Every structure is written in structure tokens, then in C-alpha cells.
Chains A and B, each alone.
Chain A
Amino acid sequence: MSVPLIEVRNLKKYFGNATRPVRAVDDVSFAIQPGETLGLVGESGSGKSTIGRTVLRLIERTDGQVLYRGDDLAGLSGERMRKMRSKLQIIFQDPYASLNPKMRISAILGEALSTHGLHPGRAARDKRIAELLETVGLRAEHASRFPHEFSGGQRQRIGVARALAVEPEFIVADEPLSALDVSIQSQVINLLADLRERLSLTMLFISHDLDVVEYLCDRVVVLYLGKVMEVASTAELFARPLHPYTRALLAASPKPDPTIETVHVPLKGDIPSPVNPPSGCVFRTRCPHAIDVCAQAVPALDTVSAGHQVACVRKELFTMKAAA
């Protein structure tokens, strides 16, 4: 196998004081191959956004490694990391909060270019800005406007243009669709899919919307309380979910079709506090299949078939069923 573009090894991010830390991300590992889109799913508090930000060193990790083409990003000096950022970009969730309201679009996009010394000179810069706006389905004359003059969908396109301005190889898309209406959401999904193909982008796509993840991603990592529960190709995960949490998550997400009968018992209770996570398997307090051993040791992420890994001591429960 080729060298992954991004590899995360035993990543940990604890917030707060050392005696009672908030274990937002606790020993997470995954790799993303060049050209691949990896989905990161989980509910609030599962650590998905923290992983996205830690990967890009927008916040510093507590422990573990993030390798870009085999090199650890943590070792880079401020100056070298800044240069590296032209390869690694992010699209934020809230298109209303992530654009400076006092800057024109030309300045928002131009700042990205000048920071990295790209397209110097006014004429070249303006040409590149016009090109970027057209790439994301806006018009060149939009450059002179302010963010408030755009709708949510258009703002998110500007957020995409800003990420693309520096010609990155890797983009973290942190819930880029959740602030958008359904009809606008599909426009932005198509835009991301087109750009990914045209510019051969590698993506870490963070979302709580399983339908969007199924549509856009090649592989999926399912997180719960800062830990990986299951990893599989998208087709495999949606056809044969093995972890009780993944199964519950899929069952809880209502399909837009009234003829599909949903007879499922929702998971009981809330996500526990990451300050005081349950011993052993973090999901056991809500798991309908939990037994005594689940409280004793953290289950290892075992490979059950090629590319399909599950962290559950009771995985036979469903691997048997799937085989039958």
C-alpha cells in the first residue's frame, strides 16, 4: 500500500487540568490514502471536531502523532508549519461565523493568497480571486461584496473558495452542510464532489448526518466519546454494521420514506461525561448487549474482515448473524 497522505496514530487530546482532564479524543488512529474521503461520524461530544482541528494543529495534541506523507507535523517549527498550511486546509461548519464581516470577499480570499505568497501583484491576484469564485459557482463581481450580502449557501461556497485558494492537497470539512437548508445542501454536496474529483483532493469529512456520509465518503470511522468504535468502507459499514453503537446510530436516523417500517428501541440515556468516562468500553452504559467483561477492559479495535475493524468484545453477536 502507498504511504497514506495523512496518518493519525494514537492521538489524544485532553482539555483542562491534568488531574481531571476532559478526554475529548482518547487514543484514536486512522489513515487517509491520497484521493480518499474519510468520514468521521459520531454525536456531539464524540470528539470529531477536536480530531479535525488537532490534525491541522489548530489546537495542539496531548499525545500521539499526526503524519503528513510520513512526517510528523508536531515536529515542525511555526514557520515551517505555516508553509505547510497551504497543503492542509479546513472548511468550517458555520458560514456566518467563519467569514470576517468587515472584510470584502476579495480581501478574505486575497489574505489566503498573500499569506502564502501566491499570485503576487494586483492583477494576478484579482485574476485568481475571480477564478476561485467561478470555481465555486459564484461570479467574479462578487469579490467586491461583503459577507452579509450573501445567503448561507453562498457563504459556504466562499468558505470553500478560501480553502481552495492555496491549492491544498488535504481538506478537513467540519460539518460544512449542517447550517444549510436541504435544497442548498445538495448544491454544496455536488460542489464538494466535483472539486474533489477535479483537484484530486483528499478529505476528512466530519458529519453527524449519516445519509450525507454514505453519499460522499469512501470509508467511515465511527466515534463515541473520543474513541473509535468501528472503521469500514462506506458500502460495508452501511450494509453490515457490527458495533452496537453503529447499529443504533443507523437505526435512529429516520429514512425519508414512510413505507420503511422502523421498529427499533432507541438507545437509553445520554452520552456520559468525557471527564469521567465509563471503565472498559465507553459505550457499555448505553449498550443493549453489555455484559460484565465490557466494564473490565477497553476492547481492542480488531479486524474482522479486510478493512473492517470493530472495537467490541461481543462482535460475534453480529458477525455470526451477518455470516448466516
Chain B
Amino acid sequence: MRHLAIAASLLAITLPAHANPTLEGVASALYELAKTHAFLTWTVKHNGISGYTVNFTDFDADLVFDAETPTNSQLSVSINPTALNTNYPDPAKKVDWEAELATDPRFMNAGEFPTIEFVSTAVEQTGEFEGTVTGDLTFLGVTAPVTLDVTYGGVANPPWFGQRDVIGFTASTTLVRSDFGQNSMAGIISDEVEIEFSGEFLQAAE
């Protein structure tokens, strides 16, 4: 018995407490986006033959996460529509192209609409670690409901954050940009826009 107990305690030390993803022991708390580990992209079809992908490089999100009852969680996201990275290959043209995307009334029209916002209204669980988050997306001054497919990726506890939990998610949805009044270059640029997120949320400091 003593040997077994030693073996068990050694196992407890060597192995993680539980396989990831897990919700066990995760703090129900306010979490803030860990901006250095968060990626948000939009992809449209170009001429029907390739995906054109752009990163949003300045966005923030607050998550009130309920680990016991994830459907009680709440999410709000704010995106700066001028912070775009197209990875356009020519450096000078890249600046012009991103400025055009940001400010042209055909595209983000950021002069008139300086933020894109999402505020959740309902969370549903569809699997152990999967669910949907429905909310109001405000884009180009139009507010319309959007549903995100969300997967919880698990918890990490890097020592430099002390007792604060870090939790990871991926999320995706497909928007119809004409629903928000954007019809430019129809036939060349698809009406459907795929949105993808992967990133981490850090438990807010006490």
C-alpha cells in the first residue's frame, strides 16, 4: 500500500492534474484578452478562386466566464477597423491599400464608423467544450445578430501570471457583408465573410 501511495503521488507530480481541455479548477471570473496571443482574421473569396485573408491587429475583448455554467458567460469585443494587415507584398502600396480598406466608404469607412463591436446576448452549449455565442454585431453603423461557433481550448497557468488563469478559445462565423450595407465589388469579392479567432484570455488582476 505504501508503495502504491508513493507511486500515486509521483504520478500526481509528473502528470498534469487533468488532461486539457478541462474546466475543472478554472476560475469563474472576469478575463481580458491576452493581446500577444490573440488572432482575428477575416477572409473573403476573391474572383471565386482564392481566399483573401486580412488580420485585425488592434482589438480587445472582455469575457465574464462562468466555468460551472458556461452558458452564463458574457463576451464583449471591440475592434479598431483601421488596424488591418493585408500582408500586401509591396511595402509602399501596402500602406496605401490598407488605408483605402480602412477609410474608403466602400470598405471599412472608419472615419464615419470608428469601431466594430460585438456584445453577446446568448450562449448555448453544443458539446462538452463547444458552444455558440450569439450577439449583436455593430458594423458600419448597422447592428445585426451574429452567432459564433466557439471551442474552449483549455486552461494554462504560466508561472509569470501567478494564480491567474489563462484560458484559450477558437471561434468562427460567416457574415453576409451586404447585411451591413457593404455591397462593393460584388461578383469579385464574395458577399460571405469568414471570421476566425484564436486566442487567450487572462483572468483580470484582483
Question: Do A and B form a real pair?
Answer: no
B residues with CB within 8 A of A: none
A residues with CB within 8 A of B: none
